[in-house]
Every structure is written in C-alpha cells, then in structure tokens.
Amino acid sequence: MKNLLKVGLGILTSIGGFLEVGSLGTALQAGASFRYSLLWSVVVGTICIAFLVEMTGRLAAVSHHTVVDAMRKRFGFPMQAWPLGAQIVVDLLVLASEVGGASLALELATGISIRVWVVPVTLFIWALLWFGTFGTIENGVAVLGLVTLCFVLGAIWLHPDWHAVRAGLLPQLPAADRGEYVYLAVGILGASISPYLVTFYSSGAIEEEWKTSDLMPNRIVAGIGMSFGSVVAMAVVVVAALVLAPRGIRADSYQQAATALSLPFGHWGFRLFCVSLGIGCVGAALELALDVSYIIAQTLGWEWGENKRPAEEARFAIVYTGALLLATLPSLAGIDPLKLTMFSMAVTVLALPFVVGPLIVLMNDKQYLKNHTNGVIGNVAVVTIVVVAFALAALAVPAQLMGS
C-alpha cells in the first residue's frame, strides 16, 4: 500500500509539475507557427527524460548518492567543476524565466505591471523554501499544477484532425521557416531534457530516503508519470495549432498566447491560462532554486537538505536565497519573460553533455549500483541520449541565430 501511494503521488507530481514556463512557451510557439509538426520533439524529449530520471533514481536508491555526489567522488572535483559551472548558469537563467512567468501571470490577471509583482512573487517562493519541507513543496505545488490538464480537455473539445496529429509524431522539415523550426525543436528538447530535472530528481530521492525496494515505483513514475506529463505539453501544441495558428497569432509573447484557451472555455479560458502559467512557474522556480543549492552543496561536500531547518544548513539556505535575488533582475530590467524563456531553453542544451555524459560510466559502476547496473537497453538508451545531447549542443548556437 505504501508503494502504491508513492507511485500514485509520484505520477500526479509528474503530471502537475511537467508543464512549466519552458514547456509551455516552446509548445505554444510550436503549435502557433508549425501546427502539429513539432509534436515528435515532445515525444523524443519525454523518452529521453524518462530514461534519465529512472537511472538517476535507481542510482540514488541503491547507492544513496545523488548524481552530483557520485560524479564528484568518481571523477574528482576538477572534473565536476565544469558541469557545476554550466548548470549553475543554466539554472539561474531558467529560474529567472520562471519568476518572470509567474509575475507576468499576475500582470495578465490584474493589469498591474509585472515589475510590481516580481519582488512579492520572489518573496513568496523564498518563504515556501524557508518554512516548507521537501514533501510539501514537491507534492503540494505539483498537485495544484494539475490545473494544466485544462489544456488536455481543451484539445479534446476542439476535435483536432487526429490523422494530422499522428503525422506530427514523425520529423519532417517544413518548406519554409526551417531555421525557426530547428530553433523551436531544440528549445522543446531543451525544456524536456533539462539538466536540473536529472539532478533535482536524484536529490529528491535522497531527501525521501529511497531504498532498493523503491526501484519499481521509481520505474513506474519515470515511465508513466513523464508520459502523462508529456501529454499535457502535446495538448498545448494542439490547442495552439487550432486556436492561435488560424488567427495568425505567433505567440511571441504570453499576452498573445493568453487567448489560447478562450475558444474551448470562453471567458474562463483566460483565467485558466493565467492560473496554469502562475502555478507552473512557481512550482518550477521552487525546484530550480533548490537545485542550485543541491548541486553547489553536493559538489563542495556541504551538508544539505530541504527537510532540515535553515539554521541547521545555513549555507544551503543562503545559496537558494542568493539565486532567487539574482533571478529577479531580468524582469525588473524589463526583459520579456517569453523571450528569456526561449533563449534559456536553447542555452540549456549546452549543459546537457556535461551532466548526461558521465552517466555512461556511473550507471555501469558496480561499486555504486551493485547488481542494478544498466542492462543492454539502458546502455543503448544512455549512449543515444549522450549523442543527442552533443548534437543539440552543437545545434544550439546556430539554431538560436537562425530562429532569431
């Protein structure tokens, strides 16, 4: 019964926490610009992240080490410094996007400028981290994020051409705007296979004291939870393709995209969009701020844990406090949250090889995983993901230039 409850809550958390600013922003633009033809990138990203979180959860459950901790001990600090530096930059960029997205959701709902909301939103996120525990943060906010299922209901209500939807599951370059197509594909994959999801997931497994008996629940949550979460992201693409694309709305800003749910839900659609954006961004901001603290503490060998009081782990709390302060600057400077999001998603893939590459060694190390090392399928998957990560990293800058 305990494992059944863990699986159910884990799947709900995956669904509710899957749609954050990166997934939402890239999916809206993909559907508005190319209708269903980028659905394949959501599927590819979901398969990759499902394998990665299963592996890192297994590593944590068996060895009681996070990915970062295991990398530091296996390869040494000099080798770990590169992934640390790359991921801190990426995490801070995406965190700033999430803070901006949550603040913009309040601007859309109230008409009051985003700059007025940035500091209160940041203080709210900080208070949840300071006074909350890992369980209340991860499960509470993510379950609230189930409001994003409104996109699934909206997609079904709109009655898409399912044959055309299925055709979008296979990659096919469009006749025009190929640069933007590649740019959005890289952005969607960057949002789906974000490095912070890998390091945060393994840190959460340690926070929740996973054991070998949790391997099956971990596998189910990784497979089913991520799959259901990707359905929400795919539904956003479908809704944008049916509502925004026919009206020539390119979703270059959240103000434009906010009408996406107006057709299936009427005047409630705008409110549902604001709530989905706000809750999704707050949930992801909590995870990202924690992840910055996790990876720095684990790399430097500090004591860490969200379940401990800030007074007990002062350095851990100071790091996420500082990360949140830095995350307010872009929005206060007037940088558009969606443009920052699209830039962040493309840059995210640059950090992927640093985080994913060492898993080839770690997941086959019996010192850590004993009898639970990767099998043939796992090794083929991780090698394929590493190749994809390097390919995306090579494409990131050209795609950014072509997409712009």
- Look up tokens 């209708």; give the residue: 35
User: Is residue 356 very low, low, confident or very high in pLDDT (cuts 50, 70, 90)?
Assistant: confident
SS3 160: coil
User: Is residue 1 very low, low, confident or very high in pLDDT (cuts 50, 70, 90)?
Assistant: very low
- Model confidence, pTM: 0.89
Boundaries of domain holding 61: 2-403
Does residue 22 carry a pLDDT above 70?
A: yes
The Cα 20–Cα 88 span in angstroms is 19
Please count the other Cβ atoms lying within 10 Å of the Cβ belonging to residue 338.
25
- Residue 354: burial class (beta carbons within 10 Å; 0-12, 13-18, 19+): buried
Is the separation of the CB atoms in 288 and 196 below 8 Å?
A: yes
With a CB cutoff of 8 Å and minimum separation 6, the contacts of 175 are none
* 292 vs 187, more confident: 292
Residue 242: which of 163, 160, 162, 165 has the closest Cα? 160
Of the ranges 22-31, 94-103, 285-294, which one carries the lowest mean pLDDT score? 22-31
- Look up tokens 């639970």; give the residue: 372
* DSSP assigned state of 308: S
Region 7-24: mean pLDDT is 61
What per-residue confidence (pLDDT) applies to 309?
85
Please count the other Cβ atoms lying within 10 Å of the Cβ belonging to residue 85.
13
User: Is residue 110 very low, low, confident or very high in pLDDT (cuts 50, 70, 90)?
Assistant: very high
Identify the CATH number of the domain in which residue 320 sits.
1.20.1740.10
Number of domains in the chain: 1
Please count the other Cβ atoms lying within 10 Å of the Cβ belonging to residue 88.
18
Helices (H), 170-328: 178-192, 195-207, 215-220, 226-243, 254-257, 262-265, 267-300, 314-327
Hey, what are 291's tokens? Answer: 């992840």
Strands (E), 63-220: none
Is the separation of the CB atoms in 225 and 15 below 8 Å?
A: yes
Is the separation of the CB atoms in 282 and 125 below 8 Å?
A: yes
Total count of residues recorded for the chain: 404
In the chain, DSSP finds a helix count (H) and a strand count (E) of 23, 0
Mean pLDDT across the chain: 85
User: Is residue 178 very low, low, confident or very high in pLDDT (cuts 50, 70, 90)?
Assistant: confident
Kindly give the interhelix angle for 2-18 and 226-243, rounded to the nearest 10 degrees.
30
Of the ranges 76-80, 94-98, 139-143, 254-258, which one carries the lowest mean pLDDT score? 139-143
Of 140-154, 185-199, 291-305, 351-365, give the range with the top mean pLDDT.
Answer: 291-305
Is the separation of the CB atoms in 229 and 201 below 8 Å?
A: no
Kindly give the interhelix angle for 178-192 and 21-34, rounded to the nearest 10 degrees.
150
User: Which pairs with CB-CB distance under 8 Å and at least 24 residues apart come from 370-379?
Assistant: 370/62, 372/58, 372/62, 372/212, 372/215, 374/55, 378/51, 378/55
Hey, what are 42's tokens? Answer: 């959501």
What per-residue confidence (pLDDT) applies to 291?
93
Q: What is the pLDDT of residues 143-170, one digit of tens each?
A: 777 788 899 999 999 999 999 999 999 8
Of the ranges 113-122, 166-175, 266-275, 385-394, which one carries the lowest mean pLDDT score? 385-394
